[in-house]
Structure 1
Amino acid sequence: MQQWIRFYFQLPVLIRLLSIALVTMLFFGMAIHLIEPKNFPTFFDGIWWAFVTGATVGYGDYVPISLGGRIVAILLIFTGGGLITFYMVTLSSATVKHEQALSKGKVRFKGESHIVLLGWNERTRQLIDMMRKDNIEDKIVLIDETMNQLYQELSNVHFVKGDPTSEDTLEKANVCEARMAVVTANPSKKEQQSDQAVIHQLVALKGHHPNLFIIAEVLTERQKINAERAGANTVIRSNDFMSSLFYHELYRKDPLQPFQLFLNLLTARQFHEEKVSASLAGVAMINVLEHYLAQGSQVIGVKTGDTISFNIDTYTTLTEEDYLVLFTPFSE
């Protein structure tokens, strides 16, 4: 008996309340059927009357006439009506609490094949905006310990508040079932501290999910090798990238703005690597260029072994061992 009592109190509150309400309605339905079998000819008629009365709807299609039946009705009104009302209030309260817990990052993510973003900043915000703009439906789990609440209404983003190096946080984000992770540098910290934080997060992610594909951002060149050793599959050095754009912007000789041009290109097109097909092997490069232009793609480089050349000679020919670096529309 004690085991059943312990099991009952281990159930969620809503399940316990619902079970009590059902048992109460069944009890009163059976009682009224036994007391007034003429007015309530079947057990189901009694249950129907109990639910209608307990919910304070009161259709009046079944009415107790005898003294015993009316006493049962009074007891039902005192117990059942308050019980069902309390259940509905509790259900509403639980729904509101769950919504608040979701926005505050306290609810565990139960999906799989999702993308984990570590750190809420302008870069992750823009990344999410671009994915929404292109109607990419990947589920995103955002881990951040600085925010108290995710204020934006993002249906595909699940927020988890906590330290991204903590095992509990990674379990709450269900990282073991994730497809990919992006670790961004913290712009509020010094460069060295930010890179060290990124490396710690990489170690935690790989320790939790050894096969997880991770893209990491570092700010200094000397930490690139450490990020790779920590398990990053792709390392982006944002400072080097921005410095190159600043250089081109400072010393440009044409009215064309390199930064805006590059931004527009990356927004509309993507890099793609493709092995040279047998039909294009031995063909002059000028014909290869025309072949891909007809498909809406541009050849920007040739990869031979580990060497990539962006100086394209239109009269050279390719082999089946070569790879083409293409710039293709994002829709492909």
Structure 2
Amino acid sequence: MIIKQFKLIYFRIPIIIKLLITIVILMCFFGTVIHFIEPMQFPTIFEGIWWAFVTAATVGFGDYVPLTTSGRLIGILLILTGGGLIGFYVSSIATGTIKREQDIEHGRLAFKGTGHLILVGWNERTRQLIKVVFDNNPNEKIVLIDRTLRHISFNEFPIHYINGDATEDTILERANIRYAERVLLTADLVKNERQADTYTILATVAIRGNNETIPIIAEILSKTQIENALRAGATTIIRSNDFMSALFYHELTHSAAVTPFEDILQILSKQQFSHITLPVELENKRFVEVSHHLLIGDHLLLGIIRDRKYCIHPSANLLLLNGDILVTLVRL
């Protein structure tokens, strides 16, 4: 029974550790044998073991050498066995290191950290978002899940990449979804709107099933799918099509501005949007009064969220009620 348990434990040990254990046992064996064969040349077992390691590693310090024929035969056996084992051990370490780097680059390695941000979908918007995040918080831990990207260079993008489908539990577990801080799902613009939204909703269901409390920000292209995304568990819906349509209309109906809109977005990237629950002392006060109050604390009030609906730039006389969420812009 004891031998069976030992075998089970031994077979679970990584091969690198097995090799190291084998090498140590073998060196101790040869070191002990050479001590008893030539006690004058190797006064202690430790000196014999030292000779065994130096000989097997082909270092050849020459401070201890066997003088008798028996001792030299032991040395030959040591070179033939121990030398090969140590060479195999070193090459295994090198191979393991290279394989780990390849696994990281190709998205096969699980993420072990906590408090991280998970991005689902690789596109130009994700690329820009990663840049903005690291510009504002270089220590942010980001995990990217994508099923189309073949590999990603860590030197170019210091993120942890996982290749796979975000609707699968095994992929989400590799991203350590249970200990993530929040998730952002971007729409796949290569697909048509319905297919892209369907995937986003399915991924939302899978994420919510693995983490009941994590905030999920989902980009939805079609207005008709917003309710489905909310039912699936999304906490925030981004309607990029509506924003782009409003931007196009603005450009079509207004004269050219001096500052390109891209520069305005770059300026906004240096600010931070914030959601604040309406304080009790500001309840039943007008929007303009609350806005003035927040300006003192460096918060620019843009609008409110009421009954899960955004109301941006409402009437100055709108009364704010208990449960309203203030949408503000804060300077970083």
TM-score, with structure 1 as normaliser? 0.86
- Structure 1: gaps spanning 5 or more residues: none
Aligned to 1:16: 18
The question of 1:200 aligning with 2:202 is answered: yes
Q: Flag the 1:100–1:131 CA change in 2: closer, same or farther, 3 A.
A: same
The question of 1:87 aligning with 2:93 is answered: no
In the alignment, the residues of structure 2 paired with residue 323 and residue 166 of structure 1 have an alpha-carbon distance, to the nearest angstrom, of 33
- One-letter code of the match for 2:25? V
Structure 1 residue runs of 4 or more that deviate by more than 6 Å after TM superposition: 285-288, 302-308, 316-324
- 1:66 Cα shift? 2.0
Q: Flag the 1:175–1:3 CA change in 2: closer, same or farther, 3 A.
A: same
The question of 1:114 aligning with 2:116 is answered: yes
Report if the CA contact (8 A) 1:245-1:258 is conserved.
Answer: no
In the alignment, the residues of structure 2 paired with residue 225 and residue 303 of structure 1 have an alpha-carbon distance, to the nearest angstrom, of 16
Aligned to 1:25: 27
Select which of 260, 269, 272 maps to 1:270. Answer: 272
- Post-superposition Cα deviations, 1:38-96, rounded to whole Å, max 9, x if no partner, equal 22222211111111111111111112112222221111111111110111011111111
Question: Following superposition of structure 1 onto structure 2, how do residues 109-258 of structure 1 map, counting pairs within 5 Å?
Answer: 109-151=111-153, 153-154=155-156, 156-253=158-255, 255-257=257-259
- Post-superposition Cα deviations, 1:76-118, rounded to whole Å, max 9, x if no partner, equal 1111111101110111111111111121111111222211111
Task: Look up the SS of the partner of 2:61 in the other structure.
Answer: coil
- RMSD (Å) for aligned C-alpha atoms: 3.2
Question: Following superposition of structure 1 onto structure 2, how do residues 317-328 of structure 1 map, counting pairs within 5 Å?
Answer: 326-328=328-330
- One-letter code of the match for 1:64? P
Q: Flag the 1:320–1:178 CA change in 2: closer, same or farther, 3 A.
A: closer
- 1:212 Cα shift? 1.7
- Structure 2: gaps spanning 5 or more residues: none
- 1:132 Cα shift? 1.7
Aligned to 2:75: 73
In the alignment, the residues of structure 1 paired with residue 203 and residue 44 of structure 2 have an alpha-carbon distance, to the nearest angstrom, of 66
TM-score, with structure 2 as normaliser? 0.86
Q: How many residues align structurally? A: 327
Moved more, 96-105 or 2-11: 2-11
- One-letter code of the match for 2:101? E
